[in-house]
Chains A and B, each alone.
Chain A
Amino acid sequence: MTHPSPSHINRDLLRPLLQTSWRFYLLVGLLGSVVLTALVAWLSQAFFGFGITGIRWPIYWGFYVTSFVFWIGISHAGTLISAILRLVNAGWRRPVTRCAEVITVFALMIGALFPIIHLGRPWLAFWLFPYPSERLIWPNFRSPLVWDFFAINTYLTGSVLFLLLPIIPDFAVVRDRSTGLRRKIYSVLALGWAGTPRQWHRLETAMQIMAIGIIPVAVSVHTIVSFDFSMAPVPMWQTTIFGPYFVAGAIFSGIAALLIAMAVLRRFLQLQDYLHPVHFQNLGKLLLVMALLWGYFVFNERLVTYYGNEPSEMAVFWRTQRESFAPLYWTMVICNFVLPLVLMGIRYFRTITGCVIASLGVIVGMWLERFLIIVPSLGHKYLPYTFATYRPQPVEMIIAGTTFVAITLLYVLFAKVVPIISIWELKAGEHTPPSLRPPGSPEHALGELKL
């Protein structure tokens, strides 16, 4: 494996920042126009009211809450994985961590938009904030929705800081390589970074503390999102398994999103020297582990419901197993379990292309999983007068679908202003300490299993 020199690293990773082609403007224009379409759809929903959506009694949670849970899940890609890899000092993490942390921040921002999109009067979203109204009534701190507010905002704040702190030394690199207005902007962003031993030590200590702090916060966020469901007396919702099941599903979809992002960046920013097949193989093995864990949780949930044989629960159970929702359910099982098991379990298929195909399947499967948790249960509660169906309308489809375009746009813009691979961490990985290392590369494969 070749080891690029520091100047080579600077040149390669700063190229997207310092050179702009017409393709960039075309891509941003295209993505931006799609996002504008969703904005128009959302404004029309605010103007005409929720009547233009398919959300109505008793299924008040449709595409929007599905997308909310899905994007909060995707956000587990970055900060959690990055924090774990930092704490165990995995050498192969270096080119991966920032790609992952960016997904967290943008996915959280998009996920956090959905409760607002889901409001009939979004201009009253501030009612959710913990402040006393003129009658001194505070939000109910015992409500899972208020827990969401605290958990998501803590995670978002922590993730943004976790992303920004290690960018400061890279801003200094850009500052030293640019001129004019760009140099002035990056000088401000670099905060006078010089790279003294004191600064490096403080930065690394801060990253350690934050990594330790952010892991339980990440786990708590998706557990609390699961409480939105498991605290409600709705068939197949009130179960103790939802917390870990949601966390496992979130990490699962997060790894899939990370693999797709890495493959796209590698291809379009020509990062073949930095994102090696071994990075994909290692993350592919993690994807395989999470697919098995996901299958284990689904089996638990289904088996316990089946043995309980409670009529209202069994009605929902059969709706997903062999009635109207069965096609979606079995697609989900194929996408989330069969596909990753085959593609990531057999070594021959564990290539970059194999990882991307499996990840695309997992993204589809995990979105379906969220949908299948929400809609079949809400449409078939305890008494027949609450039975209903849900038909999503174009406005919901446009808004939910456009979020994928929106995160792509945010990612493209971010990669234009910030090195998408941490330059200083990469250099630290390349630098040789005084005592000779044993032969071999720090970018070793995860485990030595020859599956």
Chain B
Amino acid sequence: MKAIYGLYSSGRSAQQAFNRLKAAGIVERDIVVMSAQPMEDFEFGRSDNKTWMWWIACAGGLIGMATAFGLSWLTEMSWPINVGGLPTFAWWPNLIIIFELTMLGAILATVITLVVSAGLGRRPGFYDPAVTDGKILVGVANPSESSVRELESALEAVPGSQVKTI
């Protein structure tokens, strides 16, 4: 069996199913939840919300800043042209290039972190199109044969559930 899951119409019932799976001995990281919108108001929607993305964005910005500094320094010093009496390497005009590449570095680092940490580009283990129709999927991937009956009853115990096995 690939997975067992229930589809729920509201966050409240999905939370009940989530709690029942935990009570059945499933650890939180093994419970799969999928929804059509962020559900941070519920406990299941807040799982796995630790990220280094802010720090990685800052690091990306620093790399962008260093690149811009190096680019402007090396190119201006390798061909020193007198422009309006400014120093060969003038801070004021170069700050513009440095600022733009700093922000570009932060933006690109953010997007790369998103793609990698959210697992974009990888197929999910299982999926149900009802999720994008507003249902909330709560289930377990690759359950052991011995636990299927117990999981099924835990998921079905919530009123209005629609339990499926694939």
What is the interface of chain A, defined by CB distance below 8 A to chain B?
Answer: 5-7, 10, 130, 132, 136-138, 140-142, 146-147, 150-151, 154, 157-158, 161, 165, 168-169, 172-173, 176-177, 191-206, 209-210, 213-214, 216-217, 220, 224, 424-425, 427-428, 431, 433-435
Q: Given that A173-B132, A209-B57, A427-B37 are known contacts, is A194 also in contact with B49, CB under 8 Å in the complex? A: no
Contact B118 A202 (CB under 8 A): yes
Q: In the bound complex, what is the Cα–Cα distance between A373 and B79 (angstroms)?
A: 35
The 8 Å CB contact of B42, one of A132, A206, A209, A434, is: A434
B8 within 8 A of A: no
Contact B45 A200 (CB under 8 A): yes
Find the A residue at minimum CB distance from B93: A142
User: Residues of A contacting B45 with CB < 8 Å?
Assistant: 197, 200
Contact A161 B107 (CB under 8 A): yes
Q: In the bound complex, what is the Cα–Cα distance between A130 and B123 (angstroms)?
A: 39
Find the A residue at minimum CB distance from B99: A220
B30 within 8 A of A: no
Contact B134 A202 (CB under 8 A): no
Q: A6-B134, A138-B78 are in contact. List 20 more A-B contacts (CB 8 A).
A: A7-B134, A140-B81, A151-B96, A154-B101, A161-B111, A177-B129, A192-B121, A192-B124, A195-B35, A195-B37, A197-B38, A199-B120, A200-B37, A200-B45, A202-B51, A205-B51, A205-B114, A209-B57, A220-B100, A433-B11
Query: 4 nearest interchain CB pairs?
Result: A6-B134, A433-B41, A176-B129, A138-B75
Minimum C-beta distance from A200 to chain B (A) = 4
B133 within 8 A of A: yes
Find the B residue at minimum CB distance from A217: B103
Contact B36 A157 (CB under 8 A): no
Contact A195 B34 (CB under 8 A): yes
The 8 Å CB contact of B36, one of A138, A161, A173, A192, is: A173
Contact A424 B37 (CB under 8 A): yes
Contact B101 A165 (CB under 8 A): no
Contact B100 A151 (CB under 8 A): yes
Contact A203 B100 (CB under 8 A): no
What is the interface of chain B, defined by CB distance below 8 A to chain A?
Answer: 11-12, 15, 32-42, 44-49, 51, 53-54, 57, 71-72, 75-76, 78-79, 81, 83, 86, 90, 93-94, 96-97, 99-101, 103-104, 106-108, 110-111, 113-115, 117-124, 127, 129, 131-134
User: Residues of B contacting A150 with CB < 8 Å?
Assistant: 96-97, 100-101
Minimum C-beta distance from B72 to chain A (A) = 5
Q: In the bound complex, what is the Cα–Cα distance between A427 and B39 (angstroms)?
A: 11
Q: In the bound complex, what is the Cα–Cα distance between A163 and B49 (angstroms)?
A: 23
Find the B residue at minimum CB distance from A194: B124
Q: In the bound complex, what is the Cα–Cα distance between A191 and B115 (angstroms)?
A: 9
User: Residues of A contacting B86 with CB < 8 Å?
Assistant: 142
Q: Given that A10-B133, A201-B38 are known contacts, is A142 also in contact with B104, CB under 8 Å in the complex? A: no
Q: In the bound complex, what is the Cα–Cα distance between A201 and B50 (angstroms)?
A: 9
Contact B33 A196 (CB under 8 A): yes
Q: Given that A141-B97, A147-B97, A209-B53 are known contacts, is A216 also in contact with B103, CB under 8 Å in the complex? A: yes
Find the A residue at minimum CB distance from B123: A192
Q: Given that A138-B75, A172-B132, A197-B39 are known contacts, is A206 also in contact with B103, CB under 8 Å in the complex? A: no
Q: In the bound complex, what is the Cα–Cα distance between A209 and B107 (angstroms)?
A: 8
User: Residues of B contacting A206 with CB < 8 Å?
Assistant: 53, 110-111, 113-114
Subset of 11 A-B contacts with CB under 8 Å: A140-B81, A141-B75, A141-B97, A147-B100, A173-B132, A196-B33, A197-B35, A200-B40, A201-B48, A205-B51, A209-B53
Contact B134 A140 (CB under 8 A): no
Contact B75 A197 (CB under 8 A): no
Q: In the bound complex, what is the Cα–Cα distance between A146 and B54 (angstroms)?
A: 30
Q: In the bound complex, what is the Cα–Cα distance between A361 and B76 (angstroms)?
A: 46
Contact A141 B94 (CB under 8 A): yes
Contact B103 A158 (CB under 8 A): yes
Q: In the bound complex, what is the Cα–Cα distance between A160 and B106 (angstroms)?
A: 15
User: Residues of B contacting A157 with CB < 8 Å?
Assistant: 104, 107-108
Minimum C-beta distance from B80 to chain A (A) = 12
Q: In the bound complex, what is the Cα–Cα distance between A172 and B137 (angstroms)?
A: 15
Q: Given that A140-B81, A147-B97 are known contacts, is A197 also in contact with B134, CB under 8 Å in the complex? A: no
User: Residues of A contacting B93 with CB < 8 Å?
Assistant: 141-142, 147
User: Residues of A contacting B119 with CB < 8 Å?
Assistant: 192, 198-199
Find the A residue at minimum CB distance from B46: A197
Q: In the bound complex, what is the Cα–Cα distance between A367 and B100 (angstroms)?
A: 27
Minimum C-beta distance from B15 to chain A (A) = 8
User: Residues of A contacting B111 with CB < 8 Å?
Assistant: 161, 165, 206, 210
User: Residues of B contacting A177 with CB < 8 Å?
Assistant: 129, 132
Minimum C-beta distance from A408 to chain B (A) = 29
The 8 Å CB contact of B100, one of A154, A427, A428, is: A154
Q: In the bound complex, what is the Cα–Cα distance between A142 and B85 (angstroms)?
A: 12
Minimum C-beta distance from A149 to chain B (A) = 9
Contact A142 B100 (CB under 8 A): no
Find the A residue at minimum CB distance from B135: A6
The 8 Å CB contact of A198, one of B36, B48, B72, is: B48
Contact B44 A158 (CB under 8 A): no
Minimum C-beta distance from B122 to chain A (A) = 5
User: Residues of A contacting B48 with CB < 8 Å?
Assistant: 196-198, 201
Most B CB within 10 A of own CB, among A177, A192, A197: A197
Minimum C-beta distance from A228 to chain B (A) = 12
Minimum C-beta distance from A134 to chain B (A) = 13
User: Residues of A contacting B107 with CB < 8 Å?
Assistant: 154, 157-158, 161, 210, 213-214
